[in-house]
Every structure is written in structure tokens, then in C-alpha cells.
Amino acid sequence: MRFEDKVVYQIYPKSFQDSNGDGWGDINGIRSRIDYLAGLGVDYLWLTPFFPSPQRDNGYDVADYRAVDPRFGTMADLEALIAEAEMRGIGLMFDMVFNHTSTAHEWFQKALQGDAKYMDYYIFRDGTPDAPPTNWQSKFGGSAWEYVPHLGKWYLHLFDVTQADLNWENPAVREELKDILRFWKAKGVKGFRFDVVNLISKGEFVDDKEGDGRRFYTDGPHVHECLKELVHDSGIEGMVTVGEMSSTTIANCIRYTNPAEHELSMTFSFHHLKVDYKDGDKWSLMEPDIHALKEIFASWQEGMARGGGWNAVFWCNHDQPRIVSRFGATGRYWKESAKMLAAAIHLMRGTPYIYQGEEIGMTNADFTDIADYRDVESINYHDILRASGLSEEETMKIIGARSRDNGRTPMQWTAGESAGFTTGTPWLGVNHNHAAINVEAEREDDDSILAFYRRLIALRKEYRIIAEGSIRFLERENDDVIAYERALGSERLLVLCNFRASDIAMPELHAAGEKLIGNYPGMAARLRPYEVVALRWVE
């Protein structure tokens, strides 16, 4: 099953809707908004982790995979949400953080006590306090190894020091993880997202002379075997699964998602979200390179199709800045650019993901002080950038553009206090532009970004060509426009996206097609600023 005509909506529970005034979003908050989600027409809700956690990395540091953190609610609340969603034809997808656990997890606590069984659940290496086993770097900055003096050993953490990597070479670990999947499947969960799942199989533990170590564990030696075993033995085959793939390749993503391989339904890859990284560095700013963006889409979309793979298509998630602030506009062309960006990916080949707030055109956070940020990565990099010699002003400009908190500010429901997110003090500041950008303002407006997303979702279900058509990229040399053609039998769909804030020449491509969707009235001789138009015809 390919999930071609499905659309997934991602919820970051902490920032979606608070129901009890403690400033944290919660499960009952999601329940109260279920009709809004059903109204959008989405098929699945992916919930980022709500499990008991010290919240060093907002829940991606899981201390217990089978329970609900009391700050998010109870198991009964969760069961009610699953049932209420199902009544509306919506399935829940849970986020399985299986590359690492929190150091607060009982397995790691037992390992720390020297219990050999549990030490083998993690990646411990002998050594002296002055020499980590390898020079690998944590994704959040600093060494990927932490020394435990009373054990005389180091443990590996590719992320925060409180996120210890699991040892997937140990069959007992793999059994534990399968059991967790069975547990949630039995509760009626319909699918799973697997966090950084292409990092689970570590290769050799040697110094990386040219990089941060990722070449030794990315798409590692046993990753495909491990996934096949996990999916097969846990009995989740046939459910919707998406793997988050860090620094991966098309060839690997074909293997992860080609149905003949029995691994996953689809993959997230991130190359298209690095076209504004100067020299590939997230912490160096650059204008987005639209030519590079198009080439990445073209090679991934066409390459995955050739190999029988399947893409998850997305712009936003809880780790990314807001797309209108990034590749679109927040001033004069805010609405046009938000719609253009939406159509650009919703009409591609793959399963679209919408991240909460994207559908109303939410923008980056408007924080100016590092004290306003909560994300561990932003706080670490603030210090790293300052130590590298940048001024506070330069540093805050970078953090402002790149922080993961840009995508985590509370959902903007109304123009009222705290945007209707909470009656208390929000855990992370609400963007002041909620007075203008909010669900209430867009809900009844046929011309709103929200209405446009609703229409895109409906079109995918109405026109098989969107869900199942082949894809071919056009205008490869034109740096202003992203253009592609979908085909199904004798049917064609041409999509033209102007990524510029000015009007540009109309590519000489279109036959006299019927306009299926666009963000301006009618058709003009040139493509207007951030215009998108999709034309359909039968040959």
C-alpha cells in the first residue's frame, strides 16, 4: 500500500492546544480541535513524542515508550483521541525514537549501575577520561561521547548527552523495540514515524579524518536488515510508516521504500532544506538557491520514481524554520507565496505532510533575546557561535533564522490573548503577529491560505493524476521557476511556480489546459510574483 492519495498533518503537542491552562499543549487540547483537522481533510495525524521524558530535547529523549507524560494527559485521554479521530476517518501515527533513549530510561539507569545486560543495550567503549573513542561530533555540538567515571567507559550520543544511542546489534534491543510497536498497534494506532532511523546501524568506530563521523553510521551496514526485521516481526507491515533519514541518498531511500523490500512506506530527506546553508553549514546564512532547489527536487522526484520508491513531501516540521519566512515572503506577498509553496509540493509525486500552522501561513518566531529560546540546539549553538568570535547581534541574526523554535511557537488559533493556545503562560512565546495570522481569521475566508490547503487536499483525492501520475521536471535552466509535468495515461498536469517576488516570463510550455488551481485570478501574459498555476488537459 502506497498511501498515494493520503495527506498527513503533523502535530507538535506541546504547542498545539492547551486544555488546562498550564501553558503546555496536551492531548485533550488536540481532542478539542479534532473537527478542525477533519475539516481540513487530512487522513493521518503524526504526533511528535508525548511519552514520559525529561524534555531535554522536547520529548525526543524518551524515558518510557509505553506511557503518556502526565503533562500531556493520561492514557485514557490518548485512547479517547484515537477513537475520536478514527470516527472521523483519521488515523494516528506515533513517533518512535528508536535510535536512542533518554538517559533517564530505566535501561540506561540499570546500565549505569553496571548491569551487563543493560550496558549491552547501549554503545559503551573503554577509555581514559582524556580520550574519547572517536572524534565524532554530536548533532547538537561537541563530542558525541560522554565519559562515565565510575564505569571507566564512554557512551555514544549522536544527539544530546542525555540521549544515549541504542545498540541495535544486540537482538534483545531489537525485541524490546518490536514489543513497543505491538503495544501501540494494539491500542489502535495506524502508523509510525521513525526518528533518525537511518542512523541506527553503526559501522566502524574509528576517527573521521574528513568529517564529523556521519559517514560511519549514516545508512549504516545493517540498517536495511534491521528495518525489515523490525517491520516484519512486529506485525506492522501494511501500516503507514515514514522514516526520518538524515543525510541520506536516493539509492538508499529507494531501498527503504520500494514495496518489494518490505521496509517503510516513505522517507523524509532534507537536501531541499539546505539550499540556504552557506557551504552546507546550517549556521551560515545565505539566500536560498532556487536553481539548486529545483535540481534537488528533480533528482529526488524522478530518481525515486525510477527506482520504485516513494517520497514524503514537506517544507516544514518541528526542526525547521517556517517556510514563508524562508523561501517565501512575510510582507506584501505573504499570502501568495504561502500558497505557491503549498501547491509546489502538494502537486508533486509523494505523500504531503503539513506541519501545524503551515496551513495558515505562520512565520518564524519574533524573538530577539536568547533567553526567549528553549531549544537545546539553539542554546548550544548560541554559545558556540559567540565563542567563534561572532558578536551577539550577528549570533542572534543566525539563531533567529535557523532556530528550531521558529517552528515551535504556539499554534495561532485566534487574535486574542496567547492566540487562544492557552489561558496560562505559554511554555514558548506566542508570535505577536497572531493578531493578524490565525485560524479564526482564515476559517471563513475563501481566499485564505487555509482554504487553499483544504482545496489542495481535496484535489489529491479528486484527481488520480496528482496521487499516481508520473513526474518530469521542465525548464531546468530557468532559475526563477520550478516547473514540472505529471502524466497519467493521456492526462497531463503542468505545474508552474514562480519563486520570485517579481513577475517573470511565462515559460512557453502550456497547452490550452484547464486551470485546476492557482493563487491569482485568471491567467496573465507573465507569471505574477510568487504565482503558481496548475493546468490540466487530456492529450
User: What x/- string results for residues 149 through 178 when contact with ligand TEU is judged by CB under 6 A?
Assistant: ----------x-------------------
Question: From residue 434, how far is each of 12, 215, 337, 364 by CA, in Å?
Answer: 18, 43, 18, 12
Pick between residue 244 and residue 480 the one whose CB is nearest to ligand TEU: 244
Asked if residue 406 binds ligand TEU (CB under 6 A), the reply is: no
Distant-in-sequence, close-in-space partners of 366: CB < 8 Å, separation ≥ 6:
431, 432, 433
Residues 144 and 296: their CA atoms lie apart, in Å, by: 30
Pick between residue 263 and residue 319 the one whose CB is nearest to ligand TEU: 319
Asked if residue 344 binds ligand TEU (CB under 6 A), the reply is: no
Q: How far is the CB of 159 from ligand TEU (least distance, A)?
A: 4
Q: How crowded is residue 69: how many other Cβ atoms within 10 Å of its Cβ?
A: 22
Pick between residue 124 and residue 381 the one whose CB is nearest to ligand TEU: 381
Asked if residue 375 binds ligand TEU (CB under 6 A), the reply is: no
Asked if residue 246 binds ligand TEU (CB under 6 A), the reply is: yes
Q: How far is the CB of 248 from ligand TEU (least distance, A)?
A: 11
- The amino acid that residue 230 corresponds to is L
Q: Which of 214, 222, 274, 282 binds ligand TEU (CB under 6 A)?
A: 282
Q: How far is the CB of 271 from ligand TEU (least distance, A)?
A: 12
Q: Which of 77, 195, 405, 485 binds ligand TEU (CB under 6 A)?
A: 195
Asked if residue 46 binds ligand TEU (CB under 6 A), the reply is: no
Pick between residue 110 and residue 282 the one whose CB is nearest to ligand TEU: 282
Distant-in-sequence, close-in-space partners of 350: CB < 8 Å, separation ≥ 6:
266, 301, 304, 310, 311, 312, 313
Asked if residue 196 binds ligand TEU (CB under 6 A), the reply is: yes
Asked if residue 377 binds ligand TEU (CB under 6 A), the reply is: yes
Pick between residue 74 and residue 320 the one whose CB is nearest to ligand TEU: 320
Q: Which of 61, 69, 165, 244 is catalytic?
A: 244
Pick between residue 271 and residue 510 the one whose CB is nearest to ligand TEU: 271
Q: Which of 85, 97, 396, 494 binds ligand TEU (CB under 6 A)?
A: 97
- Kindly report the backbone phi and psi dihedral angles of residue 266, in degrees, each rounded to the nearest multiple of 5, phi listed first: -165, 165
Query: Residue 26 is placed in which grid cell?
Result: 496536551
Cβ density class 315-346: b for 16+ within 10 Å, e for less: bbbbbbbbbbbbbbbbeebbbbbbbbbbbbbb
Q: How far is the CB of 40 from ligand TEU (least distance, A)?
A: 23
- The amino acid that residue 308 corresponds to is G
Residues 287 and 309: their CA atoms lie apart, in Å, by: 31
Q: Which of 16, 60, 94, 297 binds ligand TEU (CB under 6 A)?
A: 60
Q: How far is the CB of 97 from ligand TEU (least distance, A)?
A: 5
Asked if residue 139 binds ligand TEU (CB under 6 A), the reply is: yes
Q: How far is the CB of 14 from ligand TEU (least distance, A)?
A: 12
- The amino acid that residue 242 corresponds to is V
Distant-in-sequence, close-in-space partners of 95: CB < 8 Å, separation ≥ 6:
46, 47, 48, 49, 192, 193, 195
Helix axes 223-234, 171-186, angle to 10 degrees: 40
Q: How far is the CB of 404 from ligand TEU (least distance, A)?
A: 6
Asked if residue 531 binds ligand TEU (CB under 6 A), the reply is: no
DSSP 3-state helix, strand, coil percentages of the chain (rounded to 5)? 35, 20, 45
**Position of minimal CB gap to ligand TEU:** 60
Q: How far is the CB of 41 from ligand TEU (least distance, A)?
A: 25
312: left (phi over 0), alpha (psi -120 to 50) or beta: beta
Give yes or no: 195 in active site. yes
Q: Number of residues interacting with ligand TEU: please give it, by CB under 6 A.
A: 13
Give yes or no: 244 in active site. yes
Gyration radius of the chain over CA positions: 23
Pick between residue 97 and residue 430 the one whose CB is nearest to ligand TEU: 97
Cβ density class 389-401: b for 16+ within 10 Å, e for less: ebeeeebbebbbb
- The amino acid that residue 520 corresponds to is Y
Q: Which of 43, 165, 195, 405 is catalytic?
A: 195
Output 438-447 pairs: Cβ under 8 A, ≥24 positions apart: 438/360, 438/412, 438/413, 438/414, 439/36, 439/360, 439/411, 439/412, 439/413, 439/414, 440/413, 440/414, 440/415, 441/415, 442/360, 447/335
Q: How far is the CB of 244 from ligand TEU (least distance, A)?
A: 6
Asked if residue 15 binds ligand TEU (CB under 6 A), the reply is: no
Pick between residue 409 and residue 498 the one whose CB is nearest to ligand TEU: 409
Residues that bind ligand TEU (CB under 6 A): 57, 60, 97, 139, 159, 195-196, 244, 246, 282, 318-319, 377
**Residues with a known catalytic role:** 195, 244
